[in-house]
Amino acid sequence: MRNIRIKITYEGTRYQGWQKQDTSDNTIQGKFETLLSRMCGEEITIQGSGRTDAGVHALGQIANFHTGCTMTTEEMLTYINQYLPEDIAVVEAEEVPERFHSRLNAKGKRYVYRVWNSSIPNVFWRRYVHTVPEELDIQAMKEAAVHLLGEHDFKSFTSTKKGKKSTVRRIDRIGIDKEGDMITFIYEGNGFLYHMVRILTGTLLEVGKGKRTPHSIPDLLLAKNRELAGELVPGKGLVLEEVYY
């Protein structure tokens, strides 16, 4: 059996997220499994590096699948892109060692969240930004972000219900850049919990609006209580940019 690794880009607007659901096939994973099974003439299961939620986009989602298919990876790339809908594309396809697993081998990820900070909507970027008309204190958000760096229990920043799985993660970088009216939040870390990037961004935005202080973040981490963190900002502002191996 060959193991094929693909790099995928998609606009998440129309989809219910990455992960296949029983009740609907309107998922990225579902689209791929249907298409790859037809291409290979066998039932294909595809493994993504992680789920993305409904409406979330990807520039560099990584996935892999096993197949007995004899096509070259170049032929696969052409075939897949020909039949994918226009809001999903495969950017790269390559054969990898059989033990490669896109989720288990992932060492880290980079996510980007975009905020359009104006009372005038941005019609061109509207599917990829969360619009915040209020003035935001960039410096205060940067100070707050510093408290989130490193290894912490991010239980306050996830929507996951009680479970036995660890909620400890390490954030290596939070970049906050403003260019014109566009604010870009860049998150790099070894892994992100369910809704974590969107709750982190919602919390930082509340700091930017003056509703919280940067110094309130350490207590918020220690509280391990989702109720105390900021709002869950919309999925459409989020892009999974890169997965590191």
Give the list of residues 6+ apart from residue 70 with CB closer than 8 angstroms, or none: none
User: Active site includes 172?
Assistant: no
How near is the Cβ of 4 to its own copies at its closest, in Å? Answer: 16
How near is the Cβ of 82 to its own copies at its closest, in Å? Answer: 10
Burial 138-176 (b: 16+ CB within 10 A, else e): eebbbebbebbeeebebbbbbeeeeeeeebebebeebeb
- Are the C-beta atoms of residues 39 and 33 closer than 8 Å to each other? no
- In the bound state with its own copies, the residue whose beta carbon lies nearer, of 9 and 156, is 9
Residue 195 to residue 208: CA distance in whole angstroms: 20
How near is the Cβ of 18 to its own copies at its closest, in Å? Answer: 15
- In the bound state with its own copies, the residue whose beta carbon lies nearer, of 1 and 120, is 120
Instruction: Please tell me whether residue 224 adopts helix, strand or coil conformation.
Output: coil
Binding site for its own copies (CB under 8 A): 9-11, 57, 59, 77-78, 81, 86-91, 119-124, 126, 128
- In the bound state with its own copies, the residue whose beta carbon lies nearer, of 6 and 233, is 6
Name residue 203's amino acid. Answer: T
- In the bound state with its own copies, the residue whose beta carbon lies nearer, of 73 and 216, is 73
Residue 97 to residue 4: CA distance in whole angstroms: 9
- Are the C-beta atoms of residues 46 and 36 closer than 8 Å to each other? yes
Token pair listed for 16? 């219910």
How near is the Cβ of 120 to its own copies at its closest, in Å? Answer: 5
Q: Which residue is associated with the tokens 């998440």?
A: 12
- In the bound state with its own copies, the residue whose beta carbon lies nearer, of 129 and 148, is 129
Checking DSSP bridges between strand 168-179 and strand 150-153, what pairing results, if any?
antiparallel
How near is the Cβ of 95 to its own copies at its closest, in Å? Answer: 18
| Catalytic member of 25, 53, 87, 153 | 53
Active-site positions read 53
